[in-house]
Homo-oligomer: A and B are copies of this chain.
Amino acid sequence: MPGRNAFYAQSGGPTAVINASACGVLQTARQHSDEINKVYAGREGIIGALTEDLIDTSIESDAAIAALKHTPGAAFGSYRYKLASISERRAQYERLIEVFQAHAIGYFFYNGGGDSQDTAYKVSQIGAVLDYPIVSVGIPKTVDNDLPITDCSPGFGSAAKYLATCIRETALDLSSVSRTSTKVFALEVMGRHAGWLTAACALAADHDGDALHVLLLPEIAFDEGRFLAKVEQAVVRHGHCVIAVSEGIKKLDGQFLSAGPADPFGHAQLGGVAPIITNLIGEKFGYKCHWAVADYLQRSARHIASATDVQQAYAVGRAAVEFAIAGKNAVMPAIRRLSDSPYRWDIIAAPLSEVANQEKLLPAEFISADGFGITVVARRYLAPLIAGEAYPPFEDGLPDYVRLQYRRRRVIA
């Protein structure tokens, strides 16, 4: 008798390595065909299950599945959709069960950030509350690195490596021209509430006085006067000033410096804070400023992924399947750090109940006393996460990313 089928889906913002986790899931499932028959991927996360929009991954070649490991984006589509609880909206869970039953799905894998772990957690309760036997395992993913328990979140290390590289490179450019032209460069970085990516930009410095000179973290309220004084000090000392600014910085009154219209989750769309802060600098000191906004570039930069991150993304995908086969319901594979240098880690099972809807901000001991930099402790934490290169194959000068066949599987309607 063949094993039951599995459902796998991706949720939230894509990363450079979320497909490496998919690769880990799919390759490991293929190695355990006694326990897992087929893996159906949901299109656009849980929506794929609710609408019976399923992709039969079994028809994809081994080579295509392997190539997911070096392909950015979310190969099966992604969506932020938060399930209500079973008691609030029982009908939605009955629909899930209808689809799961129709496709003999006994394993549920959900790959995403905090909201997604909440979804995985709610699905894990279906067995106990609605009597449909399913094993639900969350798989961590977020460039924001704000998931609790796990040492880091897959996706973060690659974005961090990209950003620190950009800072190191643009600082060389800026310092070439700063004596006579542009004196300030600001790079706007993702991270609505948690400053992990902004902090990682500081890894660019390896000599005293090197860029990065000023970090603006979302954890610290933006104080215009202190900020401008810090910038002036850097320009006087080093001739130029490189700044990393989180899209999520807030004024002393708690308002975002830059906020656009809200998304369906009630989150305001952020972006465009770099020109705001460089305008302040230009007005105050007359320095010529340049600014860049990395936006999607930072979360899709697979061309400069961290080898450590790719390895971990794959490993949590593999572990998710292993946990599921072992019958561990309501868990998420979490990375546990065993040592900083050399960086050693293994994978443990974190209870989804403790992971869902938590947000891990930068701890106070990672932030320098003046709030504009990071500490030695932070550097020790961050450094191994960007280690190692894992270049994708190139063809005709560009990364060669895979395109799947996407055969849909529908039986209900």
Contact = CB atoms under 8 A, between A and B. Distances in A.
Interface of A: 10, 13-14, 16, 44, 47, 71-75, 77-81, 161, 164-166, 168-177, 179-181, 185, 187, 203-204, 206-207, 261, 263, 269, 271-272, 274-275, 282, 288, 290-297, 299-304, 306, 383, 386-389, 391, 394, 396-399, 401, 403
B300 A172 contact: yes
Given A165-B399, A173-B14, A391 B389 contact: yes
B181 A401 contact: no
Contact of A13 (B79, B177, B386): B177
Given A272-B275, A304-B304, A391-B391, A175 B398 contact: no
Contacts of A206: 396, 398
SS class of chain A's interface: helix, strand, loop or mixed? mixed
A29 to B, nearest CB: 21
B303 A290 contact: no
A283 to B, nearest CB: 11
B303 A165 contact: yes
A389 B394 contact: yes
A170 B401 CA distance: 12
A290 B14 CA distance: 14
Given A176-B14, A291-B271, A391-B389, A170 B297 contact: yes
B164 A398 contact: yes
A206 to B, nearest CB: 8
Contact of A396 (B297, B303, B383): B383
Contacts of A398: 161, 164-165, 168, 203-204, 206, 386
19 contacts: A14-B172, A14-B176, A72-B172, A73-B171, A73-B176, A74-B173, A79-B181, A164-B397, A165-B398, A169-B300, A170-B295, A185-B296, A187-B297, A263-B288, A290-B295, A291-B293, A293-B293, A304-B304, A389-B391
A179 B295 contact: no
Given A169-B302, A274-B293, 15 more contacts: A14-B173, A72-B173, A73-B169, A73-B173, A74-B173, A77-B177, A77-B179, A164-B397, A170-B295, A170-B297, A170-B300, A269-B288, A271-B275, A292-B295, A391-B391
B73 A296 contact: no
Q: Which of A282, A303, A387, A388 has the most CB of B within 10 A?
A: A303
A175 to B, nearest CB: 7
Oligomer copy total: 2
Nearest to A157: B397
Nearest to A164: B398
A173 B383 CA distance: 26
B292 A168 contact: no
B169 A297 contact: yes
Contacts of A295: 170, 185, 290-292
A6 to B, nearest CB: 21
A297 to B, nearest CB: 5
B296 A292 contact: yes
A195 to B, nearest CB: 19
Contacts of A80: 181
A391 B165 CA distance: 13
A169 B399 contact: yes
A389 B161 CA distance: 19
Given A290-B271, A290-B296, A386-B397, A169 B303 contact: yes
B297 A71 contact: no
Contacts of A180: 44, 47, 79, 81
